[in-house]
Amino acid sequence: MNFEPLKGIKILDLTTVVVGPLATWRLGQYGAEIIKVEHPSGDLMRGLGGASPTGQHSGGYLHLNRGKRNICLDLKTPGGQEICRKLVEKCDVVVANMRPDALARLGLDAQTILAQFPDKVYCMITGYGTDGPYSGLPTYDSVLQGASGIAGLTLARDGKPAYVPMLICDHVVGEITAGTVMAALMQRQQTGKGSSIEVPMFETMAAFVLQEHLAQQSFDPPVGPVGDLRLLSPHNQPVKTKDGYISFSINTDAQVRAYLKLTDKHDLLDDMRFSTIANRAKYVAEWFAVRGAPLENKTTAEWLDLFQQADLPAMPCHSLETLTADPHLKAVGLVAFEDHPTEGKAAVIRSTIQVDGAYPSPRAPAVPIGWDTQDLLLELGYSAADIASLIAQKAAINYEH
């Protein structure tokens, strides 16, 4: 089905790697036309995300850049800069994650663009904002995981800091960025005025950590130590079974009693430390030692069946190899395959959002560098001779289909 609340909105995508491309991909999922400007050397994610048949479309790049038109420009050339200015005029929204000083040198900063086009929505994703002492510093997801306290959560739990082994900061901030751009578009519809948006990754992720883990120090004076002690318990891990691991959570008093009966811990049913939510919060270390104990007398499948019968939330702890084989994901068709124009058969991860009982179209595959250069230049009013000249100057590069 077509779910296109943003149909007619044009977005200039001046982003690379993950956080920006994810934000614009999400906006494209809602029907916006995304025009991705790519340097001749290519988005780093084309190769950084792993091998591919041509070396140009890693899996990560494919999944984050669906539904985008691609124009290849060298913004260091006068011709490339002129084309980009015409694209700014054509588009409703500009999304960028280049360093602020680089954008300013190119005249692609918010102040320059909004002075000329006050109805534009301009969104810049930065590592550390533009006000504080870290402003302008380079960063990547793992650096932000350390700075924001995410890696420090495992230091508190396990005695050693560790990164979440996925680009969690990029994904979270990318989704927040997409939502903020849509809010700005709604405001523009009401007022006719554009907006200058800045989404700083460090502050955004630090706020996520603190919303949960400032915890008992959210008060003045504090009523206890920092950190959600349930989540920081070393026993808050998937539980070992006879043949693997199981993930479950039990929170209500009824769930706790059902779990204690199910795991033959009848002697703890009358233990006052575990009888209420308040008592389990007080004796959180002792409680998590109980609920995190291994369950190695039965297989994962046997435990899942018993948990389901007791109406307790539980699932297998998947590995990367088993996740795509999950029966639920296979039944709902989360991953399928399509014929990519250069890579052969490639996976498509469909939308996870249902609208009116159906999933929106995943839109067209991600394309090679410069795939739409010629078409976009024609739409901008360049003649065939102009286009040939710009390509000869290497201000623009066109993919030969």
Residue ranges covered by each domain of the chain: 10-207+333-397, 239-316
Sheet with 314-316: list strands edge to edge. Answer: 239-240, 245-248, 314-316
Please give the pLDDT value at position 103: 95
Residue 278: DSSP 8-state: H
Q: What share of the chain is helix, strand, coil (3-state, %, to 5)?
A: 40, 15, 45
Please choose, from the candidates 38, 72, 92, 35, the residue with its C-alpha nearest in 3D space to the C-alpha of residue 387: 72
Please give the pLDDT value at position 356: 94
Give the integer Cα–Cα distance in Å for 56 and 273.
Answer: 58
Contacts of residue 349, Cβ cutoff 8 Å, sequence gap at least 6 = 63, 334, 335, 362
What is the mean pLDDT for each group of 10 consecutive residues in the chain (401 residues)? 93 98 97 98 95 96 97 98 98 95 95 98 96 93 98 96 97 98 98 98 98 96 94 95 96 97 96 96 96 96 97 96 96 96 96 93 96 98 97 96 83
Please give the pLDDT value at position 354: 94
- Give the 3-state secondary structure of residue 178: helix
* Tally of CB atoms within 10 A around 196: 15
pTM beyond 0.75: the answer is: yes
Out of 3.50.50.60, 3.30.1540.10, 3.40.50.970, 3.50.7.10, the CATH code matching 239-316 is 3.30.1540.10
Contacts of residue 177, Cβ cutoff 8 Å, sequence gap at least 6 = 19, 20, 23, 95, 123, 125, 199
CA distances, 36 to each of 14, 68, 328, 351 (Å): 6, 6, 34, 21
CATH class of 10-207+333-397: alpha beta
